[in-house]
Amino acid sequence: MSLNIALSGLGAAQKDMNTTSNNIANANTYGFKESRAEFGDVYSASIFSNTKTTTGGGVQTALVAQQFHEGSSIYTNNPLDLRVSGNGFFAVTDDPLVAQDNYLTRNGSFHLDKDNNIVNAEGQYLLGYNVDNETQQVGSFEPKSMNVPDQFGQPKSSQNIDVGLNLPAAAPEKSPAAFDYNDPATYNKATSSTVFDSLGQPYKMTSYYVKSNAAPNTWAVYYTITDSNGEQPIDISTGDVSSASGHGGHTVSFNTDGSVNTVNSGNPVVSETFNSAGISMNGADDTQTLNINYDEPTQYAAPFELRKFSEDGATTGYLAKVDIDARGTIMASYSNGENVALGRVALVRVPNEQGLSQTGNTQWKVTTTSGDAVYGEGMTGAFGRIKSGTIEQSNIDMTQELVDLITAQRNFQANSRSLEVGNQMQQTILQLR
């Protein structure tokens, strides 16, 4: 009997050492949760035994329980490195078409694969939800794999331009008829911006402002478009002013308090077609015109200031960067200036974390013991916040693990000694004459 008790003690000490060694081995494994071997005594009795004098039968392993407290953080320069600060697991799947068959993990080390899917080191897909790009609200908590397109948007030609500016009242007067965009002495101010054609090709549009000497508080405005052949004048189709070279513009007049009186040729001011202006379009729609709307321009005793210039054209955007906020919203910025909410990282929790089944790779599966998975998003309900550019390290306390290892070693030695003494006792009995 004593030999069996000592043998069970050896097994328990070995289990304790194995558990502690595994913790130490995974000290640098991201998202790893330490385990703790828990033991129970073996005791049996019957109606024919005296419970007051019955000894136990040894020890057995009751449970190897994982401890899900948080590990410390390691900061990286990768915005796709994520950690959950608080409750919740990331959900990953082997097959994006079967998103419900997923694994839970606290290892948030992710990257983009060749198809721009967000995946982990095992190639599993990170799951999230679709969001409305305007309201950034989750429409459905049905998980799906997250993808970051490397291009966004179809080309759109510039049609409408809104301009808000202040023209300096103290600017010297010049002759609108003498305007020449190649001669800076013939105009007071100029500003440039980019417009696009139907193929998304960019052009520099330059606006020139000439304070007129022909009428008080009046400015003449001329426009040019720069294509592959250089700077080309583009006329205002119903302009009321013209340079000596025939470049047609329009005028803007102001009241004595600096407020706008009228924008001649209408508001918006309409340009001639790009075809009429002789712009090289490379196959784009050459019937394109520009509608230039002046939004409360002023003439104050202040420097020239362009307060507003917005146009509705766009070219195809290429992925510039990815950001993920505390709620898990994946925001992609593109080279065309578009910022798009692509989705929101899914977080999952279960009623009983100890009931999760380990599968390796710092991942777990939901079981009947853990309870059903509850899907949600960061910073809502019981879910924690998501930190981008940060990875959760293992929650191993190396000092405590080394102490536990020494303790397990001592227990093993003590049980070995108990086994040795039991063996000596049996040898003594066998040698009796």
Q: What is residue 54's predicted lDDT score, i.e. its pLDDT?
A: 72
- Show the beta-strand stretches assigned E in 228-290: 230-234, 241-242, 248-254, 260-263, 269-270
Structural domains of the chain sorted by starting position, each given as residue range(s) with its CATH number in brackets: 2-69+395-430 (no CATH), 81-144+346-392 (no CATH), 160-311 (2.60.98.20)
What's the CA gap between 23 and 40, in Å, rounded?
A: 21
pLDDT of residue 314: 85
Give residue 5's pLDDT: 83
Q: Are 222 and 247 in contact (CB under 8 A)?
A: yes
Task: Categorise residue 388: left if φ over 0, alpha if ψ from -120 to 50, beta otherwise.
Answer: beta
Which tokens sit at 177?
């008829």
Q: Which residues, 6+ apart, have CB-to-CB distance to 386 below 8 Å?
A: 82, 83, 84, 85, 324, 325, 326, 327, 328, 345, 347, 378
pLDDT at site 135: 86
Minimal CA–CA distance to 243: which of 197, 272, 208? Answer: 208
pLDDT of residue 70: 95
Dist. CA 316–CA 335, nearest whole Å = 8
Residue 47 pLDDT: 67
Six-digit token pair at 106? 């606290």
Per-residue pLDDT of the chain (433 residues; tens, 9 = 90+): 567 888 888 889 899 999 999 999 999 999 999 999 999 888 776 666 666 767 777 898 899 999 999 999 999 989 999 999 999 999 999 999 999 899 999 999 999 999 999 999 999 999 999 998 888 899 889 999 999 999 888 898 999 999 999 999 999 999 999 999 999 999 999 999 999 999 999 999 999 999 999 999 999 999 999 999 999 999 998 899 999 999 999 999 999 999 999 999 888 999 999 999 999 999 999 999 999 999 999 999 999 999 999 998 888 888 999 999 999 999 999 888 888 999 999 999 999 999 999 999 999 999 999 999 999 999 999 999 999 999 999 999 999 999 999 999 998 898 888 888 877 888 888 887 6
In this predicted structure, what is the pLDDT of residue 424? 83
Opening angle at CA 170, ends 164 and 174, nearest 5: 90
- Rounded Cα distance, 317 and 333, in Å: 9
